[in-house]
Structure 1
């Protein structure tokens, strides 16, 4: 439970206490005062009416602020259902996608792996929905990744569930990209194009 949620719960508890105080009968309060200070002046009925109105008003304000606070808390942290839906949406969007590589890098280069982590994070956030935060998503590459296959542990702040995305990168079947109007010393310059196959599973990689 984060600090904001704890504060909201405390607000509801205090509001319940205020409502309980408003329900105490006037005769009981008078009896308590007489037992503590027999010489004290007796409180008029108007005092109890005003006190009850004030206590109920404060309790109502506390409940309203706590409810609003729960809404804010939900918008600032992920839950398991939000992350599950977002990761599924990101997987569907990335599976079968294609992208350009570094013109100077070989197929054995692993530089794309860290860059693709950012792509995954952005896609998860995009598919999070209106109630999910727009941040605090982490795609952590596994240590055993290779130039053609990579795994990412996907987590989010507030969610207890973790997912593993398996990404396979292959040279595009449609061929490399040829920028118009650019030629090298030995012919047309091409930019390597890759296809990505992405699957997900609930695991920690």
Structure 2
């Protein structure tokens, strides 16, 4: 539960207390005052009427503010259903995709792993839908990742998923940009295919 939600819950509790105070009978208040201070002047009925109106008004304002707070919290935090749908959508979008690697990097280079984490985060947010937050998703690479296989713990709110990404050299071959040549002939850009699967829980 985030801080804004906690504050909203406390606000509702306080509003309920104010409403309970407004329901206390005048005779009980008078009896309590007489027990504490017998010489105190008796409060008129108009005082209790004004007090009840003020307490109910304050409670109403508190409830309104808390409801608005819940709405804001829902827009800024991921719930389980939102993240599940978004991660599944991102998985479907990324699975079977392709991309280019660094011209000068070897196949055993792991530099793509951190870049792909950003891609995962962007895809999850994109598939979150109109009511889902526009940030707050993290794709954390596992320490044991290799150049051909990487795992990411995808988190948002209280949920976590393990996304496994397998990178292989594209069967369609590398890309040859027109008009670009290296010292020993044509320069080719390595092309890779990605297979992506996801399971519930962290990696």
> Taking structure 1 as the reference length, what is the TM-score of the superposition?
0.91
Superposed, which structure 2 residues align to 1:119-138 within 5 Å? Answer: 119-138=119-138
Structure 1 residues 21 and 151, CA gap change in structure 2 (3 angstroms): same
1:181 aligns with 2:179: yes
Deviation at 1:186, TM superposition (A): 3.6
Q: Which moved more, 1:23-32 or 1:190-199?
A: 23-32
1:83 aligns with 2:83: yes
2:151 & 2:62 partners in 1: Cα distance? Answer: 47
1:203 & 1:23 partners in 2: Cα distance? Answer: 49
Task: Number of aligned residue pairs: give it.
Answer: 203
1:165 & 1:39 partners in 2: Cα distance? Answer: 74
Corresponding residue of 1:44? 44
1:16 & 1:81 partners in 2: Cα distance? Answer: 30
Q: Which 4+ residue blocks in structure 1 deviate beyond 6 angstroms? A: none
Structure 1 residues 32 and 203, CA gap change in structure 2 (3 angstroms): closer
Corresponding residue of 1:162? 160
How far does the alpha carbon of each residue in 1:107-157 deviate from its partner, in whole angstroms, 9 at most, with x for none?
22221112111111111122222333222322122222222121112122x
- Aligned-residue Cα RMSD (Å) equals 1.7
Deviation at 1:41, TM superposition (A): 2.3
> Taking structure 2 as the reference length, what is the TM-score of the superposition?
0.91
1:71 & 1:104 partners in 2: Cα distance? Answer: 49
Superposed, which structure 2 residues align to 1:6-155 within 5 Å? Answer: 6-155=6-155
1:194 aligns with 2:192: yes
Unaligned runs of 5+ residues in structure 1 are none
Deviation at 1:28, TM superposition (A): 1.9
1:110 & 1:41 partners in 2: Cα distance? Answer: 82
2:81 & 2:100 partners in 1: Cα distance? Answer: 33
How far does the alpha carbon of each residue in 1:47-84 deviate from its partner, in whole angstroms, 9 at most, with x for none?
11111111000000111111111122222322222221
Q: What SS does structure 2 have at the residue aligned with 1:162?
A: strand
